[in-house]
Amino acid sequence: MTDLHPDRRSSALSHLGATMARHPKTVLVVWLLAVVASFGSALGVFTQESLFDRLHSGEPSVSGENQQGRDLLSKAGQAATDQYMAQVSGVDASSPDVARAAGAAAKRIAGIKGVQSVGMPYVVPQGVQSPQAKVFFKDENPASDGFLTVVTLDPKLSSAQGTQVREQVDRELATMAKALPGSTVETGGLSELISSITGQVEKDLRTGEGVALPVSFLIMVLVFGGFVAAGMPVTGAIAAIGGALASLLGFSYLIDLDATVVNVVTVLGLGLCIDYGLLTVSRFREELRARAQGMPAKDIPREMIIEATARTVDSAGRTVIFSGLTVAISLGGLLVFEAQIMRAIGSAALSVVLVAILVAVTLIPALAALGARRLLRRGTEQAPEHGVFSRLATWVHGRPVPIIVGVLALLIFLALPVLDLRLTSSGKELLPKGATQRVFFEDLASHYPTLNGPDLRVVAQTTPEKAAAYAADLPKLNGRVVRGTPEKVNENLSTIGVDVPGGPLGDDAREMVRLLQDHRPDFPTYVVGQASGLQDFTDSMFARAGPAFALVALATLVLLFLMTGSVVIPVKALLINVVSLGASLGVLVWIFQRGHLEGLLRFDSVGALESMIPLLILAFGFGLSMDYEVFLLSRIVELHERGYSNDDAVVMGLQRSGRIITSAALLVVIVFSGFVAGQLLVIKQTGVGLAVAVLIDATLVRMLLVPATMAVLGDWNWWAPARLRRLHARFGITE
């Protein structure tokens, strides 16, 4: 077959590759300085605050009824983060000595600048036998072995000031504990829970990288047959992590970043750099072997290395840029959603894609050029045109219809659990069992149910009298009368606490939110609570899912058309990816919602998926799926443009790209699996979901379904209307 490949030595990417090869040491020094600066900035070496100091945590929120009610309470000085609590156990709560020591501590704490009030049973004006004092005793029993202290801080305090006040409170609590032999004091609050979650993010990040990088390196040593070749993608991945953390630090000054964003975005940068590094290094070896043609590696001249690098960046670099665009498109869909956390992830991830592309077209080529002779030290013979993947493609082409039917049936079967999808927005449940703050809030709910807060609250903009009348006549829940507990905030604002069976995210709580919204009084009310916030989030998500999907689908179809000149291949790729992602989400529901593999994966099912997980899996999974689609199609299109038949292009394309796709997928699965070893539930769900998505795509889809459908369609794969063919001839992205 005649090589019809055009001469692209004058292209911009060829010039870039040649420049990287002529000045590799300069490129490495620049990248080294950038990586050191990135890690230093993110870890707080060069700044007053590290990235992790600037992270937030909480349920995903959108502008809606729940947020409006919370804003009203916050303006009225009732923000939940302003409360700091201490559970005292191991004492005789009815003892006068305990009362004296606790009362003295309360007086000292109340005198701390920044403390608004102190609540405990021994300082209630009505006395320790009053109903007001009873709720502060453990199990609401004045003769129990414990009591609760609630310290309310000034809401105007900054984060640093709040920390200082809490430290002063802790010292006074320690003094009180010394005066009460045998007592134990456990402290906590919403701010402490958030800090615990963000701290767990940092630990999980270290755990994930500590597992993923060494194992990935060992696998790449086996794949490439040497430490030098394996070290290049890993080096690029480390650079990507630094770039990802630095970009996140920058974004933290523009938007609030949730703690989970760090893991999600870092994992993406790690995975993409390994993918692109493998592709670039493999293509470089192929190009250099083609030029050396049996020449001893030590005798390869410098100009030949420069030519190979230029051609690598022009070919593999084009694939990387195109792949990066498809990933960016899928992540760009997150920007359509209202939830700030989705926009934060989308914005930060887009910057990480840029870092991964820069690493692939600058740092990796420079490393390849510098270590070129060692990369080929085992010989410069040409890689075989026939092998495992060409034989697999030939086998698939012999029975395409049964393979299509079988694979689609399996994917649909795996997707069936999605029909039972249930979303939640966990708080303390994100942390592993035994975590200090999770135990604190579990004990609070068990022993101090009234002070733990109601499952739902209705914020009523009216007089206390009207609010009390409304609280006594709430809508019935499943035929049961529900009573609310009114509490005056000020003359024009009250809250009505509502407790229902099953907790704040149970079915009854979700149903009660609907009833309260359907039965409004003649004054403004806002239903506040986890169930209300979850409803606002899911309503907003579904409202914008259509436009987001349309945007991603249209942009993907256009890009794939510009790459292939076909309208059939892009539509087929889109449909296959939808089915594949449905299967991945179904597996995730089966594992985490239904509680399978709890022991193996070390988690406790909450009977649902975290509310943002489906969006993340669909966006990131689609991007990674299109990543491998581009890897395969770029080779097939290249061969088809050289004049090979459809079937031959598919067989040879799979042979040339199959090893890269399989190796890259294996390594990315390892990366995601590394983060499964973490403790935070939402990160574990993300890691498992994306690992499953990549595994399904790289095996069932890319190795079986794509070759089979291309065999059935034959030359129809390349069909496009005459007008679009002319458009592609003018604007198409071809080799």
Average pLDDT, the chain: 87
Concatenated DSSP letters of 555-623 = HHHHHHHHHHS-SHHHHHHHHHHHHHHHHHHHHHIIIIIS-TTHHHHT----SSEETTHHHHHHHHHHH
Instruction: Output the pLDDT for position 8.
Output: 57
pTM for the structure as a whole: 0.82
Q: d(Cα 482, Cα 456) in Å, to the nearest integer?
A: 12
Among residues 161, 190, 219, the one where a domain terminates is: 190
- The enclosing H or E element of 330 equals helix 302-332
Domain range holding 706?
Answer: 12-50+207-418+536-726
Q: d(Cα 671, Cα 683) in Å, to the nearest integer?
A: 13
Under 8 Å between Cβ of 616 and 345: yes
Closest C-alpha among 537, 532, 526 to residue 69: 526
Domain CATH number, residue 117: 3.30.70.60
Residue 73 lies inside a defined structural domain of this protein: no
Among residues 190, 219, 244, the one where a domain terminates is: 190
Residue 343 lies inside a defined structural domain of this protein: yes
Residue 390 lies inside a defined structural domain of this protein: yes
**Confidence check: pLDDT of 607 > 60:** yes
Instruction: Output the pLDDT for position 4.
Output: 37
Q: d(Cα 596, Cα 605) in Å, to the nearest integer?
A: 8
Concatenated DSSP letters of 350-361 = HHHHHHHHHIII
Q: d(Cα 463, Cα 461) in Å, to the nearest integer?
A: 7
Helix, strand or coil, per DSSP, at residue 550: helix
- C-alpha distance across the termini of the chain, in Å: 17
Instruction: Output the pLDDT for position 411.
Output: 96
Structure confidence by residue, pLDDT tens digits, 69-82? 988 988 887 766 67
Asked whether residue 228 falls in the same domain as residue 373, the answer is yes
**Confidence check: pLDDT of 216 > 80:** no
Residue 94 lies inside a defined structural domain of this protein: yes
- The enclosing H or E element of 19 equals helix 12-22
Asked whether residue 122 falls in the same domain as residue 240, the answer is no
Asked whether residue 663 falls in the same domain as residue 568, the answer is yes
Q: 61 versus 715: which is more confidently predicted?
A: 715
User: 588: exposed, middle or buried (C-beta count within 10 Å: 0-12, 13-18, 19+)?
Assistant: buried
As given in the structure block, the two tokens for residue 628 are: 């491998």
**Confidence check: pLDDT of 226 > 90:** no
The separation between CA 206 and the C-alpha centre of its own chain, rounded to angstroms, equals: 16
Asked whether residue 546 falls in the same domain as residue 692, the answer is yes
- The enclosing H or E element of 394 equals helix 388-397
**Which pLDDT band holds residue 432 (cuts at 50, 70, 90)?**
confident
Asked whether residue 144 falls in the same domain as residue 271, the answer is no
**Which pLDDT band holds residue 518 (cuts at 50, 70, 90)?**
very high
Instruction: Output the pLDDT for position 3.
Output: 42
Asked whether residue 86 falls in the same domain as residue 45, the answer is no
Q: Strand 184-188 vs strand 83-89: parallel, antiparallel, or unpaired? A: antiparallel
Q: 502 versus 510: which is more confidently predicted?
A: 510
Find where tokens 């499952």 sit: 455
Q: d(Cα 494, Cα 526) in Å, to the nearest integer?
A: 11
**Confidence check: pLDDT of 22 > 90:** yes
Structure confidence by residue, pLDDT tens digits, 610-629? 988 998 899 888 988 888 88
Q: d(Cα 306, Cα 370) in Å, to the nearest integer?
A: 10
Asked whether residue 217 falls in the same domain as residue 184, the answer is no
Domain count, the chain: 2
Report in angstroms the alpha-carbon separations of 666 from 101, 271, 283, 691, 693.
61, 10, 19, 9, 12
Asked whether residue 177 falls in the same domain as residue 99, the answer is yes
Instruction: Output the pLDDT for position 160.
Output: 81
CA-CA-CA-CA torsion for 253, 254, 256, 260, nearest 10 degrees?
-80
Instruction: Output the pLDDT for position 1.
Output: 41
Asked whether residue 570 falls in the same domain as residue 617, the answer is yes
Helix 227-252 and helix 340-358, axial crossing angle in degrees, nearest 10: 140
User: Position 654: which residue type?
Assistant: L
Residue 195 lies inside a defined structural domain of this protein: no
Residue 28 lies inside a defined structural domain of this protein: yes
**Confidence check: pLDDT of 382 > 60:** no
Asked whether residue 172 falls in the same domain as residue 212, the answer is no
**Confidence check: pLDDT of 389 > 60:** yes
- The enclosing H or E element of 306 equals helix 302-332
Residue 177 lies inside a defined structural domain of this protein: yes
Among residues 159, 190, 221, the one where a domain terminates is: 190
b/e code 677-690 from CB counts within 10 Å (16+ = b): bbbbbbbbbbbbbb
Report in angstroms the alpha-carbon separations of 571 from 440, 568, 575, 578.
52, 5, 6, 11
**Which pLDDT band holds residue 674 (cuts at 50, 70, 90)?**
confident
Residue 276 lies inside a defined structural domain of this protein: yes
Report in angstroms the alpha-carbon separations of 535 from 47, 61, 589.
39, 10, 19
As given in the structure block, the two tokens for residue 321 are: 């840029």
Closest C-alpha among 469, 293, 314 to residue 381: 293
Lowest mean pLDDT among 229-238, 365-374, 454-463, 550-559: 229-238
Instruction: Output the pLDDT for position 731.
Output: 67
Q: Which residues contact 45 (CB under 8 A, 6 or more apart)?
A: 39
Report in angstroms the alpha-carbon separations of 137 from 88, 412, 634, 651, 728.
10, 55, 69, 74, 76
Asked whether residue 94 falls in the same domain as residue 223, the answer is no
As given in the structure block, the two tokens for residue 380 are: 């410069």
Closest C-alpha among 541, 544, 620, 543 to residue 577: 620
- How large is the average pLDDT for residues 574-587? 94
**Which pLDDT band holds residue 450 (cuts at 50, 70, 90)?**
confident
Asked whether residue 321 falls in the same domain as residue 212, the answer is yes
